[in-house]
Amino acid sequence: MSAAGVALMLGGAGILLAASPAQAASVTFKTECIPPSISGLPPIQGETTVEITAPATAKVGDTVDVTWKTVKAASKNPDVIDLEANMVEPSGDLKVGGAQTGVVAMKGPRENPPIPKGGDMKLSTMTGKLKIEKAGDITLTPDKYVITVHQIMKTETKCAPKEAVKASATIKVEGGSGNGGNTNGGTNNGGTNNGGTNNGGTTAGGGGQTDFPGKPVDVKFDCGETVPGGITTPVTVSAKKNGGNFDLTVKTAKGAMKAPVALPKGALKPSMKIKLGGADTGMVNVTGPANAEAIAQGADVSLSEMTGTYKPGKTGKVTLSPADMSIDVTMVAGSTPLNVPCKATSTGVSLELDTVAQAGGSGSPTTTTTTGNATSGNLAETGAEDEGGIKALALVAGTVILLGGAVFTFTPWRRLRGTR
């Protein structure tokens, strides 16, 4: 799952930069690769050579295309099996530094020539999009990457730098038109913070303002064994003032991936926790409806917008950050859904609000005491107490459901008995 390749650049449509000439530069760095646990192989120490291509210049407000070409991967195909053509799919993180910081989620198609046992891994070129938000020199540096193999079963080799990596490309950015100065097209309004950025998020409040658009932040979700490789997607938290409360709208990726099998109406229902920081603490739960239309095989997969209400428990500046997510998967109407809990392993501030404490505010305090399906702070629990139950539910039908940037694999009982 903006994850719009894997990712949709939320908060406003960008303009693809095509006028500036592209630049390509390569960098080599020491790398450690962790083979799949089922292989029993030890970590691999090697070197990775990557070539990053990006425009030489850009303007604030542009959205630019960047590419990652793996000239040499640190790991080889183990001496276990010959890999057939089009079985290898790469993904990775491209660090953004200098005048602007962040991470671009990169992804390549499942394309490769046949790779013999012990042969060099041949990875397709990965692509991603970067929204230019600040003037100055922006650097692009390759970071960790994942080699996913889809032959026989889905396995992942995770590779990460073992030394400081030098920037591979630099984009020189000129000031934009003002309306493109941030992701949501906000302006400075003569020096006020309405629509500006603060601590990585969008500051909102005061001056009679009622609508507060947030800033998309890249979030990585670990969904355990149910979703190998997890999900990476930009998430945007926006708010609309409703008396002393705030109605929240949370958006994730749209149309980023393709469904390998048909998904019925009502198959996917998301929910998420929004973490409060600054003056207030706690969590706010947001939920979204299930998909209203069936999703055909090969069509785009999206999650619905999620909504909820934040009732401030404290007065002051409060930050809102995407936290853990949960997805209910129902393939047959009326059946018990498979709940997939996904823990946010990295996130950031999407929005900052000026708040006034309300009686019975839901933000503070917080506890971890569970009562039924909710916790104090009016936060519905989206995780599962019985991990074994999730795994048991997953053992139903030999099919694959693609969701965002991840694959759910359901193993037939017959095959399970064979492996045990």
Domain 15-174 has CATH 2.170.140: no
Buried b (16+ CB within 10 A) or exposed e, 161-191: beeebebbbbbebeebeeebbbbbbbeeeee
**Average confidence (pLDDT) over 225-240:** 83
Q: Name the more confident of 239 and 371.
A: 239
Given a cut of 80, is residue 175 above it in pLDDT? Answer: no
Q: Which two tokens stand for residue 2?
A: 């903006």
pLDDT for the residue numbered 311: 94
Strand 300-301 with 227-242, pairing: unpaired
Residue 91, beta-bridge partner list? 107, 146
Given a cut of 60, is residue 254 above it in pLDDT? Answer: yes
pLDDT, tens digit, 9 for 90 and up, residues 18-28? 334 567 789 99
pLDDT category at 73 given cuts 50, 70, 90 is very high
Torsion from C-alpha of 408, 330, 327, 404, nearest 10 degrees: 50
Phi, psi of 410 (to 5 degrees): -105, 120
- Between CA 228 and CA 157 the distance in angstroms is 11
pLDDT, tens digit, 9 for 90 and up, residues 236-249? 999 999 999 999 99
Domains of the chain, by residue range, sit at 15-174, 196-415
3-state secondary structure of 151: coil
**Average confidence (pLDDT) over 58-80:** 92
Amino acid 315 reads T
Report the Cα 41 to chain-centroid distance in Å. Answer: 29
pLDDT, tens digit, 9 for 90 and up, residues 319-364? 999 999 998 988 888 888 888 899 999 999 999 999 999 988 875 4
**Average confidence (pLDDT) over 65-87:** 92
